[in-house]
Structures are given as C-alpha cells and as structure tokens.
C-alpha cells in the first residue's frame, strides 16, 4: 500500500514515516516546513536507509495540492498531520488556525475525492474533551471548545463524519493525549520553535541550559501532589498506532465509516512526577520553581484506551522513563549538532 503523509517533516509525522516504512508500506510525504526543517528528511533517510519521496506542498494551496495528488493517483490512504498546533497562538490568530487546519483539511478531502482516494487517518486531540472526568473514553461529551485550536479539531472531525456519509470515505480519527519523547536514534524528535508550550521540551531545554528555570504552574490542585496530571505517550508508540490504523482500514475492520480512538497510556502522571522521573534518568538536577496556576489548564486528564486495544490491537509499550530518557538524548543531540 502507498500512504501519503501530510506534515511528514513534523514531530509525529516523521516518527510515523519510520514505522510505516518498517512495516513495509510505501510512503510519500508533503510538508511546507512551516514548523519543521528539510534536514528531518535527511535524518529519516539515515534511519530508514531509504530516500523519502517528498515534495514541498502547502495544503492551503488547493491547486498545488490537487496537482500533486492527481499525479499520485496510486495513493491508497492518507495520514493527515499537517496543521498548526499552538493553543495560545490560536487564541491570538484564530483565522490562521481556521484557514490552515480546517481549510487545509477541506482542500485535502476535495483532492482525495477527485482522485478516488477514500481512506484517511486524522490527527485529532484529547483537547476535544475539555474538562472531562478521567479515565476519558471516546463516548465522553464534547463540550464547547476552549480555544480556536481545539475547535479546529472538533470541526474537522465533523467535516470528516459528514464527508464519510456523503461519499465512500473511511475515516479513522485518532485523539492523541500528550505525545513526548523521541526516536531512539536521536536523529528525529520534537523541535519546538520559540518558547515551548509543553512540559517535556521545557524540562529538557532547562536541563541543557537554554532556559534558566522551569515554572510549575500551580501546586494547589486537587491531585495527590497538587500539580496537574496528564497522560504522556511516547511518540514511537503513537507512530505505531498509525500503522495499526492503516492496517485496520486496509483489512476493513471498521463497522462504521467514521471511527475514533483515544491514544494514550491510560496512566496519569503529575508534573512533579515527570520532573522527578527526568531527574532520575538523566542524573540532572532540574532548576524549577512553583508558580501560580496557568489560565485554561485542566486539572487532570488521562485516556481510557480499551477501544484502541480491542479494535486496533494496539497499546503503548514504553514507560515514562523511556519517554524522558529519549527526550533528553534528543535535546543533547540538538545541542551537539546542527539537526535544525
């Protein structure tokens, strides 16, 4: 099978390309390098031993996207990662998010329909659940989104549902919890541009000396140690879930045209637990301080993952220790080379 990966130079896309190629799939990738670098493709080639079939395409450019897809009519399925993902930026620049995340998805679906490509795996997010009581399963209510970014994920799921009813499209929407860590080679990983919004890159950047101090936003939450709880999933486990989703589509295991799965570990870890785990695996004492709560932070969220286990035959294999160690090795690799 031939799989098109949009956003293939990005964090999750690049790890997914490795696992797809390992599983024997042919892969094509597109990206506009809005949040990634061409060097990712060279590093993917080093890991896989193959040149990545890549073209620079912006999914907002409908004509260019259609031209590309029409020239590759043998694509069997698309994995759609390309999007902007910074929650805070989406509040300041909502139209950027609606244009890219929603408009880009519409362009992609139109191009796929014209080329008779009728299988798609979509990157959704646990953010669609807002403040749900964990463990959160796929039937949890979807409240009004708290940010334009979250709204784009809700809207795209609705568009995909509608399109799957209107034509012969099969959809797997994957709601990721908190992806962290990096490939064991330390050749690919997350490259946050500017100040990271997420905990783990902030930890590793503080440990390496790029940031002076890590602020823990609040230690007076109703959790055992007072800090917020999240479900941290290793990016390689996440990548493997995409392979499982493609297998699920290929083997027609679905019972409905639109299927949705949570991707998490099913385990919640507090901010302080993550910090302690990092210190233990890296041997580095982290400079952190407790600050006030941050507006908009949910107290605790972690996934119920039974559906993915039962239907996709997938569950996570990697521990929090492996997440933190690989993130640290990646941060050190960035510091010692010119990966970007």
Ligand X SMILES: NC(=O)c1ccc[n+]([C@@H]2O[C@H](COP(=O)([O-])OP(=O)(O)OC[C@H]3O[C@@H](n4cnc5c(N)ncnc54)[C@H](O)[C@@H]3O)[C@@H](O)[C@H]2O)c1
Most distant pair of Cα atoms in the chain: their distance? 56
Closer residue to ligand X in complex, CB, 60/226:
60
Span from 2-10, 276-284, 297-305, 325-333 in contact with ligand X (CB under 6 A): 2-10
The tokens describing 265, both together, are: 């570990």
The interface with ligand X within residues 57-96 (CB under 6 A) comprises 58-60, 81-83, 85
Distances (CA, A) of 83 to 224, 304, 339: 35, 25, 22
Q: Which is nearer to ligand X, 168 or 269 (CB)?
A: 269
DSSP code string of 236-304: HHHHHHHHHHHHHHHTT--SSSEEEEEES-S--EEHHHHHHHHHHHH-PPP-EEEEPPPTT--SB--B-
Which is closer to ligand X, CB of 32 or CB of 282? 32
Q: Under the criterion CB under 6 A, does residue 234 sit at the interface with ligand X?
A: no
Contact 310, 254 (CB under 8 A): no
Tell me if 9 contacts ligand X by CB under 6 A: yes
- Would strands 170-176 and 178-180 be described as parallel, antiparallel, or unpaired? unpaired
User: Is 28 one of the binding residues for ligand X (CB under 6 A)?
Assistant: no
- 11 included as an active-site residue: no
Let me know: does 329 contact 187? Beta carbons within 8 Å. no
Q: Which stretch binds ligand X (CB under 6 A): 6-14, 45-53, 164-172, 320-328?
A: 6-14
105 contributes a contact to ligand X by CB under 6 A: no
Closest chain position to ligand X (CB): 10
Residue 150 in the binding site for ligand X (CB under 6 A): no
Please say whether the beta carbons of 276 and 224 come within 8 A.
Answer: no
Q: Does 264 bind ligand X (CB under 6 A)?
A: no
Q: Does 34 bind ligand X (CB under 6 A)?
A: yes
- Name which position in 3, 4, 5, 10 contacts ligand X (CB under 6 A): 10
Instruction: Give yes or no for a contact between 305 and 138, defined as CB atoms under 8 angstroms apart.
Output: no
Task: Tell me if 176 contacts ligand X by CB under 6 A.
Answer: yes
Cβ atoms 36, 10 nearer than 8 A? yes
Q: Report DSSP state, residue 133.
A: P
If one asks whether residue 123 binds ligand X (CB under 6 A), the answer comes out as: yes
- The residue among 176 and 302 lying less far from ligand X, judged by its C-beta, is 176
State the residues that interact with ligand X by CB under 6 A.
7, 9-13, 31-36, 58-60, 81-83, 85, 100, 104, 123, 125, 176, 179
């Amino acid at each position: 099978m031939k799989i098109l990966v949009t956003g293939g130079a990005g964090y999750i896309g690049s790890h997914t390309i490795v696992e797809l190629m390992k599983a024997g799939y042919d892969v094509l990738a597109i990206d506009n390098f809005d949040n990634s670098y061409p060097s990712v493709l060279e590093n993917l080639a080093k890991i896989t031993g193959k040149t990545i079939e890549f073209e620079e395409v912006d999914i907002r450019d409908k004509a260019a996207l259609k031209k590309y897809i029409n020239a590759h009519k043998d694509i069997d399925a698309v994995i759609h990662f390309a999007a902007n993902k910074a929650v805070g930026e989406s509040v300041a620049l909502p139209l950027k998010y609606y244009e890219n995340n929603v408009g880009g998805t519409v362009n992609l679906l139109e191009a796929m329909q014209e080329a008779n490509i009728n299988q798609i795996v979509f990157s959704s997010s646990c953010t669609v659940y807002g403040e749900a009581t964990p463990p959160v399963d796929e039937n949890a209510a979807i409240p009004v989104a708290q940010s334009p970014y979250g709204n784009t994920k809700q809207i795209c799921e609705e568009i995909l549902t509608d399109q799957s009813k209107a034509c012969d499209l099969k959809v797997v929407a994957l709601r990721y919890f908190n992806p962290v860590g990096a490939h064991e080679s330390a050749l690919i990983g997350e490259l946050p541009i500017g100040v990271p919004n997420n905990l783990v890159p902030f930890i590793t950047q503080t440990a390496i000396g790029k940031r002076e101090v890590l602020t823990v936003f609040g230690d007076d939450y109703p959790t055992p140690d007072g800090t917020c709880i999240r479900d941290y999933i290793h990016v390689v486990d996440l990548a493997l879930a995409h392979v499982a989703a493609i297998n699920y589509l290929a083997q027609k295991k679905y019972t409905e045209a639109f299927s949705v799965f949570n991707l998490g570990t099913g385990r919640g870890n507090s901010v302080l637990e993550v910090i302690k785990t990092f210190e233990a695996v890296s041997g580095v004492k982290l400079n952190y301080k407790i600050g006030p709560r941050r507006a908009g932070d949910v107290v605790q969220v972690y996934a119920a993952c039974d559906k993915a286990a039962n239907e996709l035959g997938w569950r996570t294999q990697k521990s929090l220790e492996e997440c933190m160690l690989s993130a640290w090795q990646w941060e050190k690799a960035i510091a010692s080379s010119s990966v970007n």
